Structure 1
């Protein structure tokens, strides 16, 4: 059995891979994998530590996400945080309101990816709330069934009676986002207050 003598990708090849992912070029991605294999998909990073998944998810390329995970990239790769902000691919998808990608990432990787916080102490839900993305907040809160230990449970198909819900999400600096939900929809979002601290001007 012969050992493959395919050279690893050069820095220029890695840069090209990240551009392919950023612009959603599926045929070029397939050609890259044929030439270099799948290892560069998880090894490749830009200068800020962004991965192929950051590029794919931040730009809403659902077809590339479906092609990559889980056949070429393990679902656990979605937990990789970039160097600059500590953001995951889910944070990027949330910041850019890529709803289909957000839903698919959670389905592929599990609801626990919703718990990951970036260097600012913000989860994807907090980022969605701060970005006033009510649709994303509603969906993520709906699939993040918190159990008694504080962890997120998997998404379920069980029908739950609608009720009014108030949720508070606090970041690392103590800022609190308050969400009022009625009949499964975000009714109101309030930002910026601090728990147990008087507001100052």
Structure 2
């Protein structure tokens, strides 16, 4: 019988080495490996923590488009995701469009054959994408974007998503209340019923601290 206690220190040491090596270049491989039964739950948690902490950097890199929907879903549910809601929405849509383009390529490989109508020559335009299929790809992700906290209030990213039908219901604080005014999802108000917890996005937290200090003076 193998004495696992003998090998435990070296196994834990390997996990530390893997966790310390997490970077943009290694993130996808480590997420995939650690997700398997033979992987490491602890390393997986560290990789997801890196994804949340460095989300602003990840989503503007090619690595973002290699993320699986499950890993992306876990990240965007976190209160500690380090990105603005507008950027989260913007890049989720880009991710969905990329997934749809891959589907098109798989379904119609002749599009990549170098013909006059090939993707290589003309590219897949936004208008070519089936909005219903894009909506299906993003259906499990977009509900976790906290659209009530998208800034600026007149965000083009949000209005474009609504025009395309990717978001069917506008933010609750854009809707009139029964009293005729508008609610504020940033504030916890009695009987308002629309308060949405904002993420602890560092720039916003620091700004809130500054405002709190000013109000105390």
Q: Shared fold by TM > 0.5? A: no
TM-score (norm 1): 0.40
TM-score (norm 2): 0.38
Which structure has more relative contact order (CA 8 Å, sep 6+)? It is 2
Larger radius of gyration: 2
**Bigger strand share:** 1
